[in-house]
Chains A and B, each alone.
Chain A
Amino acid sequence: AQSVSQHNHHVILSEAASLELGCNYSYGGTVNLFWYVQYPGQHLQLLLKYFSGDPLVKGIKGFEAEFIKSKFSFNLRKPSVQWSDTAEYFCAVSGNTPLVFGKGTRLSVIA
């Protein structure tokens, strides 16, 4: 069965700090990997996705993620966070099945 592990429950950063959120997955086959974000009071939105090709994926709002197959990882990064990045971030994986999510990481960006 597929599973997703997000290492950080709550991350607090100052504006302009760099961000890296960890995500590891468990699945034996070909995977599709996703990061979703939920801003306060809003619905889940797709930040970026990987399903083939360049393992470094660029998404919206300056986010990127790197798929490292040997480590079963798909960490999310952003060089410089803004206050508006305060949200909850979910890593998800899919083989040919519905999405399986991690527990989420809450990011708080302070001035």
Chain B
Amino acid sequence: EAGVTQFPSHSVIEKGQTVTLRCDPISGHDNLYWYRRVMGKEIKFLLHFVKESKQDESGMPNNRFLAERTGGTYSTLKVQPAELEDSGVYFCASSQTHRANYGYTFGSGTRLTVV
């Protein structure tokens, strides 16, 4: 089966610009997660979709971040306007159930650099 796909793999933007990251989960996986890793820090949870609904968005850092999953398929994460501290690697993962013990499948991540 195809894995979790993220696009773009790298993005370099200037402070104040807008960037949209995309994640295509494994087909049939209702659960989709966004995580972020700032350099040298842990991988931090951002939010969790079940189909098109936001189940948990407690990790979203502020209102400059907007995640959507229209139709319950792919998801986008928009950062507007981007700030320097938003630089990092953004990971997406999907799973069939919400229970983590069944494991998540991760994408390769999008490396975002804000200059």
Contacts and interface: CB of A to CB of B under 8 A. Distances in A.
A46 B103 contact: yes
Interface stretch (A61-69, A76-84, A99-107): A99-107
A5 to B, nearest CB: 10
B42 A102 contact: yes
Contact of A49 (B48, B93, B103): B103
A43 B101 contact: no
Interface residues of A, number: 22
B56 interface: yes
A43 B43 contact: no
A46 B3 CA distance: 14
Contacts of B56: 97-98
Contact of B100 (A4, A42, A43, A99): A99
B3 A43 contact: yes
Contacts of A97: 56, 100
A44 interface: yes
Nearest to A45: B106
A90 B43 contact: yes
Interface string B50-93: 00000010000000000000000000000000000000000101
B63 to A, nearest CB: 21
Interface of A: 4, 32, 34, 36, 42-46, 49, 51, 90, 94, 96-104
23 contacts: A4-B42, A32-B99, A32-B100, A32-B101, A36-B106, A43-B3, A43-B4, A43-B107, A43-B108, A94-B99, A94-B100, A97-B56, A98-B33, A98-B45, A99-B33, A99-B100, A101-B35, A101-B42, A101-B43, A102-B42, A103-B41, A103-B42, A104-B42
